[in-house]
Amino acid sequence: MKKTIQAIPTKFIVLSIGAITLFSCVSNPDSPGLEFMPDMYRGPAIEPYVDYGMVKGEIDADLQSSPSAKHPPISTIPYYGKHENLSLYLPYTREANKFANKTHGLLASDGWNLSDEAGGDYFASATDKNPIDLTEYNKKAVFDHGKELYEINCVHCHGPEGDGKGTMVKNGSYAGVPDYLNLKSLADGQVFYSIYYGKGMMGAHASWLNKEEIWTLVHYINKFRFDDYGPASIQDKTAATDSTSSNESLDSTDVKRAEK
Protein backbone atom coordinates (compact mmCIF):
# COMPACT_ATOMS: atom_id res chain seq x y z
CA MET A 1 0.00 0.00 0.00
CA LYS A 2 2.84 2.35 0.81
CA LYS A 3 4.45 1.73 -2.58
CA THR A 4 1.17 2.56 -4.36
CA ILE A 5 0.75 5.83 -2.49
CA GLN A 6 4.34 6.85 -3.22
CA ALA A 7 4.11 5.83 -6.88
CA ILE A 8 1.11 8.04 -7.64
CA PRO A 9 2.76 11.36 -6.72
CA THR A 10 5.94 10.42 -8.58
CA LYS A 11 4.05 9.55 -11.77
CA PHE A 12 1.89 12.63 -11.42
CA ILE A 13 4.90 14.90 -11.08
CA VAL A 14 6.61 13.33 -14.08
CA LEU A 15 3.46 13.61 -16.21
CA SER A 16 2.85 17.19 -15.13
CA ILE A 17 6.39 18.26 -16.00
CA GLY A 18 6.12 16.50 -19.35
CA ALA A 19 2.78 18.15 -20.13
CA ILE A 20 4.05 21.60 -19.19
CA THR A 21 7.15 21.11 -21.31
CA LEU A 22 5.12 19.98 -24.33
CA PHE A 23 2.53 22.73 -24.08
CA SER A 24 5.13 25.44 -23.54
CA CYS A 25 6.85 24.53 -26.82
CA VAL A 26 5.47 26.15 -29.95
CA SER A 27 6.40 25.92 -33.60
CA ASN A 28 6.88 29.68 -34.01
CA PRO A 29 10.60 30.40 -33.40
CA ASP A 30 9.82 34.02 -32.51
CA SER A 31 7.39 33.07 -29.75
CA PRO A 32 8.56 32.70 -26.14
CA GLY A 33 5.97 29.94 -25.66
CA LEU A 34 3.52 29.97 -22.79
CA GLU A 35 4.46 32.31 -19.97
CA PHE A 36 3.09 32.21 -16.45
CA MET A 37 1.76 35.64 -15.52
CA PRO A 38 4.09 37.63 -17.85
CA ASP A 39 2.71 40.97 -16.61
CA MET A 40 4.43 40.30 -13.30
CA TYR A 41 7.90 40.63 -14.82
CA ARG A 42 7.51 41.94 -18.39
CA GLY A 43 6.75 45.66 -18.67
CA PRO A 44 4.54 46.79 -21.57
CA ALA A 45 6.62 48.23 -24.42
CA ILE A 46 5.63 51.64 -25.75
CA GLU A 47 5.51 51.38 -29.52
CA PRO A 48 6.12 54.41 -31.76
CA TYR A 49 3.36 55.73 -34.01
CA VAL A 50 0.64 53.94 -32.02
CA ASP A 51 -2.49 55.69 -30.78
CA TYR A 52 -2.64 54.97 -27.05
CA GLY A 53 -5.77 57.07 -26.68
CA MET A 54 -7.81 53.87 -26.54
CA VAL A 55 -6.44 50.83 -24.76
CA LYS A 56 -8.66 47.81 -24.11
CA GLY A 57 -11.77 49.87 -24.82
CA GLU A 58 -10.87 52.69 -22.44
CA ILE A 59 -10.44 56.12 -24.03
CA ASP A 60 -7.89 58.62 -22.77
CA ALA A 61 -8.59 61.99 -24.40
CA ASP A 62 -5.19 63.37 -23.39
CA LEU A 63 -3.35 60.60 -25.24
CA GLN A 64 -5.70 60.27 -28.18
CA SER A 65 -3.92 60.99 -31.48
CA SER A 66 -0.81 62.03 -29.58
CA PRO A 67 2.35 60.55 -31.13
CA SER A 68 4.35 58.29 -28.84
CA ALA A 69 7.55 58.79 -30.87
CA LYS A 70 9.44 61.81 -29.59
CA HIS A 71 12.45 63.75 -30.85
CA PRO A 72 15.66 63.09 -28.90
CA PRO A 73 16.85 65.97 -26.71
CA ILE A 74 18.60 68.67 -28.70
CA SER A 75 22.35 68.25 -29.25
CA THR A 76 22.38 64.63 -28.09
CA ILE A 77 24.71 62.33 -30.02
CA PRO A 78 23.67 58.75 -30.89
CA TYR A 79 26.29 56.12 -30.18
CA TYR A 80 27.14 53.75 -33.00
CA GLY A 81 30.56 52.61 -31.84
CA LYS A 82 33.81 53.69 -33.41
CA HIS A 83 33.49 55.61 -36.65
CA GLU A 84 36.15 57.13 -38.84
CA ASN A 85 34.10 60.28 -39.42
CA LEU A 86 32.66 61.36 -36.10
CA SER A 87 31.29 64.62 -37.57
CA LEU A 88 28.55 62.60 -39.25
CA TYR A 89 27.09 61.87 -35.82
CA LEU A 90 27.46 65.33 -34.31
CA PRO A 91 24.37 67.60 -34.25
CA TYR A 92 23.56 69.52 -37.44
CA THR A 93 24.18 73.17 -36.55
CA ARG A 94 22.50 74.80 -39.56
CA GLU A 95 19.23 76.56 -38.72
CA ALA A 96 15.93 76.05 -40.54
CA ASN A 97 14.18 79.11 -41.94
CA LYS A 98 11.91 81.09 -39.62
CA PHE A 99 8.74 79.79 -41.30
CA ALA A 100 9.59 76.09 -40.86
CA ASN A 101 7.35 75.82 -37.79
CA LYS A 102 4.35 76.72 -39.96
CA THR A 103 5.29 75.16 -43.30
CA HIS A 104 6.88 71.93 -42.08
CA GLY A 105 5.81 71.56 -38.46
CA LEU A 106 9.34 71.98 -37.09
CA LEU A 107 8.79 73.37 -33.60
CA ALA A 108 11.50 74.84 -31.42
CA SER A 109 9.88 73.09 -28.46
CA ASP A 110 10.72 69.77 -30.13
CA GLY A 111 14.37 70.72 -30.44
CA TRP A 112 14.48 72.04 -34.00
CA ASN A 113 16.92 74.89 -34.68
CA LEU A 114 14.89 77.74 -36.16
CA SER A 115 16.45 80.91 -37.50
CA ASP A 116 15.19 84.46 -37.16
CA GLU A 117 15.94 84.93 -40.85
CA ALA A 118 13.50 84.12 -43.66
CA GLY A 119 16.05 82.01 -45.51
CA GLY A 120 17.60 80.39 -42.47
CA ASP A 121 21.02 78.91 -43.24
CA TYR A 122 20.00 77.69 -46.70
CA PHE A 123 22.49 79.88 -48.55
CA ALA A 124 25.21 79.44 -45.94
CA SER A 125 24.89 75.67 -46.32
CA ALA A 126 26.34 76.00 -49.83
CA THR A 127 29.80 75.91 -48.25
CA ASP A 128 29.18 72.51 -46.60
CA LYS A 129 31.12 69.70 -48.25
CA ASN A 130 30.04 66.09 -48.37
CA PRO A 131 32.09 64.38 -45.63
CA ILE A 132 31.77 61.01 -47.38
CA ASP A 133 34.71 60.87 -49.75
CA LEU A 134 33.75 59.11 -52.96
CA THR A 135 36.59 56.95 -54.27
CA GLU A 136 37.04 54.30 -56.92
CA TYR A 137 37.09 51.73 -54.12
CA ASN A 138 33.87 52.70 -52.32
CA LYS A 139 31.73 54.26 -55.06
CA LYS A 140 29.78 51.07 -55.78
CA ALA A 141 28.90 50.57 -52.11
CA VAL A 142 27.95 54.25 -51.71
CA PHE A 143 25.79 54.31 -54.84
CA ASP A 144 24.13 50.99 -53.98
CA HIS A 145 23.26 52.23 -50.50
CA GLY A 146 22.12 55.55 -51.94
CA LYS A 147 19.85 53.79 -54.41
CA GLU A 148 18.32 51.73 -51.60
CA LEU A 149 17.63 54.88 -49.56
CA TYR A 150 16.30 56.70 -52.63
CA GLU A 151 13.85 53.93 -53.48
CA ILE A 152 12.51 53.95 -49.94
CA ASN A 153 12.26 57.70 -49.34
CA CYS A 154 12.31 59.57 -52.66
CA VAL A 155 11.27 57.59 -55.71
CA HIS A 156 7.51 57.93 -55.12
CA CYS A 157 7.75 61.68 -55.83
CA HIS A 158 11.01 62.23 -57.70
CA GLY A 159 10.67 59.15 -59.91
CA PRO A 160 13.14 56.36 -60.68
CA GLU A 161 14.96 58.62 -63.16
CA GLY A 162 15.01 61.68 -60.91
CA ASP A 163 12.83 63.61 -63.36
CA GLY A 164 10.10 64.51 -60.85
CA LYS A 165 7.62 62.03 -62.32
CA GLY A 166 7.04 59.63 -59.48
CA THR A 167 3.78 57.80 -58.87
CA MET A 168 2.60 60.47 -56.38
CA VAL A 169 2.98 63.09 -59.11
CA LYS A 170 1.38 60.97 -61.81
CA ASN A 171 -1.70 60.28 -59.70
CA GLY A 172 -2.13 63.98 -58.92
CA SER A 173 -1.26 63.86 -55.21
CA TYR A 174 1.63 66.30 -55.61
CA ALA A 175 2.77 68.80 -58.21
CA GLY A 176 5.84 70.90 -58.82
CA VAL A 177 8.41 68.21 -58.01
CA PRO A 178 11.57 69.35 -59.81
CA ASP A 179 13.68 67.45 -62.31
CA TYR A 180 17.13 67.01 -60.77
CA LEU A 181 18.68 68.06 -64.07
CA ASN A 182 17.33 71.55 -63.38
CA LEU A 183 19.05 71.70 -59.99
CA LYS A 184 22.66 71.65 -61.14
CA SER A 185 23.33 75.06 -59.60
CA LEU A 186 22.64 73.81 -56.08
CA ALA A 187 25.65 72.98 -53.93
CA ASP A 188 25.78 69.62 -52.17
CA GLY A 189 25.28 71.36 -48.83
CA GLN A 190 22.04 72.91 -50.05
CA VAL A 191 20.76 69.56 -51.26
CA PHE A 192 21.53 68.14 -47.82
CA TYR A 193 19.85 71.12 -46.12
CA SER A 194 16.71 70.69 -48.24
CA ILE A 195 16.44 66.98 -47.44
CA TYR A 196 17.17 67.53 -43.75
CA TYR A 197 14.68 70.36 -43.15
CA GLY A 198 12.36 69.89 -46.12
CA LYS A 199 11.61 72.34 -48.92
CA GLY A 200 8.40 73.34 -50.64
CA MET A 201 5.97 70.43 -50.38
CA MET A 202 8.70 68.02 -49.28
CA GLY A 203 8.74 67.34 -45.57
CA ALA A 204 11.78 67.18 -43.32
CA HIS A 205 13.65 63.87 -43.42
CA ALA A 206 15.87 64.52 -40.39
CA SER A 207 13.73 62.30 -38.18
CA TRP A 208 13.85 59.43 -40.73
CA LEU A 209 17.45 59.50 -41.91
CA ASN A 210 20.69 60.18 -40.09
CA LYS A 211 23.31 62.53 -41.51
CA GLU A 212 25.38 59.76 -43.03
CA GLU A 213 22.32 58.45 -44.90
CA ILE A 214 21.40 61.92 -46.18
CA TRP A 215 24.94 62.58 -47.42
CA THR A 216 24.85 59.17 -49.11
CA LEU A 217 21.61 60.23 -50.79
CA VAL A 218 23.31 63.43 -51.97
CA HIS A 219 25.94 61.35 -53.77
CA TYR A 220 23.23 59.24 -55.41
CA ILE A 221 21.10 62.24 -56.40
CA ASN A 222 24.16 63.78 -58.02
CA LYS A 223 24.13 60.90 -60.49
CA PHE A 224 20.88 62.40 -61.81
CA ARG A 225 22.17 65.97 -61.69
CA PHE A 226 25.55 65.49 -63.38
CA ASP A 227 26.72 63.33 -66.27
CA ASP A 228 29.27 60.67 -65.37
CA TYR A 229 29.22 61.67 -61.71
CA GLY A 230 31.99 59.97 -59.79
CA PRO A 231 35.30 60.49 -57.97
CA ALA A 232 36.97 62.13 -60.97
CA SER A 233 34.10 64.48 -61.80
CA ILE A 234 33.82 65.77 -58.23
CA GLN A 235 37.09 67.65 -58.57
CA ASP A 236 35.79 69.44 -61.66
CA LYS A 237 32.46 70.40 -60.08
CA THR A 238 33.53 73.67 -58.43
CA ALA A 239 31.03 76.26 -59.59
CA ALA A 240 28.08 74.52 -57.96
CA THR A 241 29.80 73.52 -54.73
CA ASP A 242 32.10 76.39 -53.82
CA SER A 243 29.59 79.22 -54.15
CA THR A 244 25.95 79.97 -54.76
CA SER A 245 24.59 82.82 -56.81
CA SER A 246 23.47 85.71 -54.63
CA ASN A 247 20.53 86.17 -56.99
CA GLU A 248 18.97 82.88 -55.97
CA SER A 249 15.79 83.57 -54.00
CA LEU A 250 14.05 81.75 -51.20
CA ASP A 251 11.54 79.18 -52.33
CA SER A 252 8.40 81.27 -52.81
CA THR A 253 6.21 78.32 -51.85
CA ASP A 254 7.61 78.32 -48.32
CA VAL A 255 7.06 82.06 -47.89
CA LYS A 256 3.53 82.08 -49.26
CA ARG A 257 2.47 79.13 -47.12
CA ALA A 258 3.95 80.80 -44.03
CA GLU A 259 2.17 84.09 -44.65
CA LYS A 260 -1.26 82.48 -44.79
Best CA proximity match to 98, nearest among 260, 255, 230: 255
Residue 135 or 246, more confident:
135
Count of structural domains within the chain: 2
Where does residue 220 rank: exposed (0-12), middle (13-18), buried (19+ CB within 10 A)? buried
**Same domain membership, residue 209 and residue 123:** yes
d(CA 88, CA 51) in angstroms, rounded, equals 33
**Same domain membership, residue 235 and residue 126:** yes
Query: Residues 117, 97: contact at Cβ < 8 Å?
Result: yes
For residue 71, being part of any structural domain is answered with no
What CATH number does the domain containing 133 carry? 1.10.760.10
Best CA proximity match to 254, nearest among 116, 94, 104: 104
Report DSSP state, residue 242. H
**Same domain membership, residue 99 and residue 36:** no
For residue 49, being part of any structural domain is answered with no
Given pLDDT bands bounded at 50, 70 and 90, which one contains residue 256? very low
Tens of pLDDT along 87-114?
788 889 999 999 999 999 898 888 889 9
For residue 52, being part of any structural domain is answered with no
**Same domain membership, residue 233 and residue 182:** yes
**Same domain membership, residue 127 and residue 20:** no
H helical segments located in 85-210: 100-103, 139-153, 155-158, 167-170, 188-197
**Same domain membership, residue 30 and residue 107:** no
Tens of pLDDT along 47-84?
666 667 777 778 877 776 666 666 666 667 766 666 67
Which domain covers residue 191, as residue numbers?
86-259
- Mean predicted lDDT score pLDDT of the chain: 80
Helix (H, G, I), strand (E, B) or coil at 82: coil
- Say what the pTM is: 0.66
**Same domain membership, residue 30 and residue 110:** no
Query: Residues 75, 91: contact at Cβ < 8 Å?
Result: yes
